């Protein structure tokens, strides 16, 4: 082989070897994970680009409604973007809650801890109908009418004393 041809072959082979080593080295190096990510809002979108889960501080209001309190946490949404529920921290009342909404956007079921007092509530058409909770050591279940007036209350205090309010006598059968 002539001297210039030999130099060209050595250069090509050397370049190929350097490129191959570089590709192997970069393929084996693991990317470094981001140590921290600071954002006000993060949206997880479905295959159509529609946000379905939102993490926000604060969370935006649901479509067509206004939040009573500023909420920080996770919002669950349906395929049209309507809020279905969420997990939120409500600093203004010292609360934390996991709630699921009706199709109309009202809280239908909510499990919360407000100022250290646990409760579970069930609503219908935007009105509270059933609440279960513990306040000052007294466990209670309260049933409400459609105007949110309590009609039946069952309680058991921390000493085991039970109390029932609002029970009417059974109708007489004829």
CA 82, CA 142: separation in Å to the nearest integer?
Answer: 30
3-state class percentages of the chain: helix first, strand second, coil last, to nearest 5: 15, 45, 40
- 162's tokens: 């039970």
In a domain? residue 24? no
Query: Where residue 112 sits, what CATH number does that domain have?
Result: 3.90.930.1
Give the pLDDT confidence score for residue 62 in this predicted structure. 84
In a domain? residue 54? yes
pLDDT band at 22 (very low <50, low <70, confident <90, very high): low
**What's the pLDDT tens digit per position in 44-69?**
999 999 999 999 999 998 888 888 89
Number of residues assigned to the chain: 174
Into how many domains does the chain fold? 1
Domain span at residue 82?
A: 41-165
In a domain? residue 145? yes
Within the chain, strands assigned E span 41-45, 51-56, 72-77, 83-90, 95-101, 107-114, 117-124, 127-135, 138-144, 150-156, 162-165
Please give the model's pTM, rounded to 2 decimal places: 0.73
Specify whether the backbone of 66 is left (phi greater than 0), alpha (psi in -120 to 50) or beta.
beta
Give the SS3 label for residue 3: helix
In a domain? residue 172? no
pLDDT band at 32 (very low <50, low <70, confident <90, very high): confident
With a cut of 70, say whether residue 38 has pLDDT above it.
Answer: yes
Q: Which 8-state DSSP code applies to residue 160?
A: -
In a domain? residue 19? no
Burial class (CB in 10 A: 0-12, 13-18, 19+), 135: middle
In a domain? residue 121? yes
Give the pLDDT confidence score for residue 67 in this predicted structure. 87
pLDDT band at 103 (very low <50, low <70, confident <90, very high): confident
In a domain? residue 173? no
The two counts, helices (H) then strands (E), for the chain are: 1, 11
């Amino acid at each position: 082989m002539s001297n210039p041809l030999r130099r060209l072959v050595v250069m090509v082979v050397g370049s190929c070897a350097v490129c191959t080593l570089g590709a192997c080295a970069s393929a084996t190096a693991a990317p470094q994970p981001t140590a921290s990510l600071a954002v006000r809002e993060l949206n997880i979108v479905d295959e159509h680009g529609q946000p379905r889960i939102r993490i926000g501080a604060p969370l935006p209001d649901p479509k067509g409604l206004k939040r009573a309190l500023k909420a920080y946490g996770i919002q669950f949404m349906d395929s049209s973007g309507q809020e279905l529920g969420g997990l939120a921290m409500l600093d203004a009342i010292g609360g934390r809650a996991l709630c699921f909404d009706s199709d109309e956007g009202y809280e239908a079921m909510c499990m919360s801890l407000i100022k250290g007092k646990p409760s579970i509530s069930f609503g219908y058409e935007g009105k509270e109908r059933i609440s279960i909770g513990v306040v000052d050591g007294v466990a209670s279940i309260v049933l409400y009418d459609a105007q949110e007036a309590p009609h039946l209350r069952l309680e058991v205090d921390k000493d085991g004393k039970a109390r029932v309010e609002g029970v009417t006598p059974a109708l007489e059968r004829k």
